[in-house]
Amino acid sequence: MIGSAVRVLLADRLHVAPGDVPADAGASLQDLGLDSTAILSLVVGLEDRFDIEIPDVEITVANFGTVAAITRYVADRTAAAR
Amino acid sequence: MTAAQLAATVERFGARPALVDGDRRLSWDELAEAVELRAAALSGRDIGPDRPLAIVLPNGTDFVVTFLACQRLGALAVPLNPLFTPGELGRHLAGRPVGGIVTTSEGAPGIGDGAPDGTWVAGATDLDRGATGTAPTPPAGRDLPAVYPFSSGSTGTPKGMVRTAAQLAAEADAFYDTVGVTEHDVILGLVALFHSHGLGNALLASVRSGATLVLLPSFQRDAVLAAIERERVSVFPSVPFICQTLAETRRAERAETGSLRLSFTAGAPLARETFDLWAARFGVPLRQLYGCSEAGSVTINLDGDVDATAASVGRPMKGIELAVVRPDGEPCAPGESGEITFASPAATSRYEGLSPEANAESFVAGWFRTGDLGHLDASGNLYVTGRTKLFISTSGYKVDPFEVEDVLRRHPAVADVVVVGAAGSAGDQVVKAVVVPRHAGDERALRAELLALCRAELAVHKVPRVVEFRDEIPKSPLGKILRKYLV
């Protein structure tokens, strides 16, 4: 559920067609043009959608480099928020 | 003159805080001392009225000290984006030889590769080593060169211009007289100082008024909120993207931001959504300022009832005359759309390297034709409605589509390409490349190659977010590209 929401948000915030978000959750998002401003835009979208807070120091390639990484990170954050 | 304005502020407010940069704090007295030492060091490296200096630094004490040292020497400062690739650096410096390049002490990777032969490159903090004494006084009675900003051109080649010491001083005076910033204000220096918005509305505004300048090297939400709380920031020059992101950040609601009294954006249209979110989150209106590299700030919306005129960039600053004109140069009626023109003592009078005929298209009898479209309302408020030039406004940056096209065209698989600004969130644009490939093939692989090429050649904000493949570029019967069908 988190994974598909992440894909929708990614497409929306990056202004690409949902089909252009790589099907492989482990694929690097850099080819989509996920630069620091795009990541910030995605981050505020995730905060709003999942009712979590994401500290800027945790906005790293390890947490935001792939769909799988973002999904894992958001799952951890939502679990911590409960 | 900025140097004279600095001396006057030091005289009046010497012991008051001038700069805050992380843990480092400088009073006006201490800043003046650092500027004098840096000026002596630069003078020892032959920088002076006829030998310009390129400054390739992020926002920080070193940018401020180096820029003001240039003003102290009467030397032209050429501030450049520290995120530039060597290729971009080389293109910007091609038409404007400099004596030296000051960069971070770690040295930007490959910065020397972009430097023309015979130009020295030095780290900012290494410069002062061994420097002593005072710097020479610049020649009197000459309007010395002060800063060399760039405006995107229509050829992919950056268009540079000299703004003089008198013009910069006039800009600072206009902002001071119009906006009413004082030594009790604290200005957040978050927007890039190498750009005219940050230079004029943060650095020069602080030097002219004695307000404290709090420097941040990049946009991190937590660092911005912490700086506003800790330093009690009152004046916040910004861009719409930053304001939209901050206002969307939920924990901003808990931050102590009651010190903010004046926040304004420039560089891109402000969406009503961003205006409303900002007001709800921070309790102060978000105002619009309109300016350009050629003249610094031109108008600001200081309307008491800004809610009613939120879409307006306001009225001209003191000393600036503004007119919206028809193609024949006659003024438009209120509400009638035309080209925005103005006469300002802060404006440059010509672009470098352009013929007098080419310059005459923009500079007409003391008036600058901006290439922007807009209209005035009955009260004289200006509304900017479009651009006759083709820049893309993305995340607070201006991107010249022709520069990106030139890079993409170098790929052998590209038959034709057009770069446009596609609509993004909250009024922002994203860089979109529409590519006609030479042969049908693996589009995903080609896209990856094109983006890799752009990343190697261009600063990250210029790299297309969207790459679309088409069989042909739509053109009018006269061969003009129909950009509206590409966004």
Above 50 in pLDDT, residue B328? yes
d(Cα B199, Cα B163) in Å, to the nearest integer?
13
pLDDT average, residue stretch B46-58: 95
Instruction: Tell me the mean pLDDT in the region B206-221.
Output: 96
Q: Shortest CA distance to B148 belongs to which of B51, B31, B268, B218?
A: B51
CATH code for position A22: 1.10.1200.10
* Amino acid B132: pLDDT: 80
**Type of residue numbered B448:** A
Summarize the confidence of residues B226-246 as an average pLDDT.
96
Q: Please report where in the chains the tokens 């130009």 appear, as a residue.
A: B119
Q: In the prediction, which pLDDT does A1 show? A: 79
B136-149 confidence digits (pLDDT tens) = 988 888 889 999 99
Q: Which residue has the tokens 């993004």?
A: B424
pLDDT of res. B157: 66
Percent of chain B with pLDDT over 90: 66
Task: Please judge whether B249 and A44 are an interchain contact, meaning their C-beta atoms are less than 8 angstroms apart.
Answer: yes
Q: Is the pLDDT of residue B44 over 70?
A: yes
B248 shares contact with chain A (CB less than 8 Å): yes
pLDDT at position B164, please?
A: 97
* Residue-by-residue DSSP string for A23-54: SSTTSBSGGGT--HHHHHHHHHHHHHHHT---
CA atoms within 13 A of residue B13's CA, in its CB half-sphere = 23
Give which of B190, B249, B273, B419 to mutate to test A binding, by max A Cβ within 10 Å.
B249
> Quick one: average pLDDT of B1-19?
96
The region of weakest confidence among A55-64, B79-88, B234-243, B380-389 is: B380-389
User: Which residues of A fall below an 8 Å CB-CB distance to B?
Assistant: 13-16, 31-33, 35-38, 40-41, 44-45, 47-48, 53, 55-57
Mean pLDDT score of chain B, rounded to an integer?
Answer: 90
For the segment B333-384, what is each residue's pLDDT rounded down to a tens digit? 999 988 999 999 999 999 998 899 989 989 999 999 998 889 999 999 999 9
| Helix A2-14, helix A36-50: angle, nearest 10 | 140
- Helices and strands (H and E) in chain B: how many: 15, 27
B260 touches chain A (CB under 8 A): no
Helix (H) or strand (E) holding B286, with range, is strand B286-292
pLDDT band at B317, cuts 50/70/90? very high
Q: Which residue has the higher pLDDT, A12 or B69?
A: B69
Q: How far apart are CA B80 and CA B103, in angstroms?
A: 10
pLDDT at A9 over 50: yes
Given a cut of 90, whether residue B87 has pLDDT beyond it is no
Distance of alpha carbon A25 from alpha carbon A75, whole angstroms? 15
Q: What's residue A32's pLDDT?
A: 66
Domain that holds residue A57: 2-81
Report the distance separating Cα B292 and Cα B267, nearest Å. Answer: 8
Here the tokens at position B57 are 């630094």
CA pair distance B92, B307, nearest whole angstrom: 41
Q: How confident is the model at residue B389 (pLDDT cuts 50, 70, 90)?
A: low
Distance of CA B93 to the CA centre of its chain: 17
B425 touches chain A (CB under 8 A): yes
* pLDDT at residue B77, as a whole number: 98
What pLDDT band is residue B154 in, cutting at 50, 70 and 90?
Answer: very low
The pTM score is 0.85
Kindly report, residue by residue over A10-66, the tens digit of the pLDDT: 887 776 766 777 777 787 777 666 777 778 888 998 998 899 999 999 998 889 888
ipTM of the prediction: 0.80
Q: Which domains does chain B have, with CATH numbers?
A: 2-373 (3.40.50.12780), 392-485 (3.30.300.30)
Out of A73-77, B65-69, B137-141, B385-389, which region has the weakest mean confidence (pLDDT)?
B385-389
Is residue B225 within 8 Å of B257, Cβ to Cβ?
A: yes
CB-based contact B436:B470 (threshold 8 Å) = yes
How far apart CA B487 and CA B478 sit, in angstroms, is: 20
Under an 8 A CB cutoff, do B451 and A31 touch?
yes
- Confidence at residue A74, expressed as pLDDT on a 0 to 100 scale: 94
Rounded to a whole number of angstroms, the distance from the CA of B157 to the nearest CA of chain A is 24
Span of A3-7, A16-20, B230-234, B308-312 with lowest mean pLDDT? A16-20
Identify the pLDDT of residue A31.
66
Mean pLDDT confidence for B203-225: 96
- Contact yes or no for B222 and A57 at CB 8 A: yes
On whether the CB atoms of residues B149 and B96 are closer than 8 A, the answer is no
Q: How far apart are CA A20 and CA A17, in angstroms?
A: 5
Q: In this complex, which of A16, A40, A53 lies closest to B466 when CB atoms are compared?
A: A16
Residues written for chain B: 487
Taking an 8 Å cut-off on Cβ atoms, the answer to whether A33 and B220 are in contact is: no
Tally the domains of chain A: 1
CA distance A49 to chain B (A): 11
Q: Which residues of B touch A32 (CB under 8 A)?
A: 465
Nearest to B459 by CA among B389, B410, B398: B398
- The CA distance from B72 to B32, in Å, is 10
pLDDT tens profile B399-427: 888 889 889 989 999 988 999 888 877 77
Under DSSP, is residue B98 helix (H, G, I), strand (E, B) or coil?
Answer: coil
- What is the Cα–Cα distance from A46 to A48, expressed in whole angstroms? 5
Q: Report the chain B residue with the minimal C-alpha distance to residue A52.
A: B250
**Minimal CA separation from B263 to chain A, in Å:** 21
- The set of residues, in sequence order, having a beta carbon less than 8 Å from that of A31 and lying 6+ positions away, is A22, B447, B448, B451
What per-residue confidence (pLDDT) applies to B131? 84
Q: Tell me, yes or no, if B395 comes closer than 8 A to chain A by beta carbon.
A: yes
> Quick one: average pLDDT of B11-39?
97
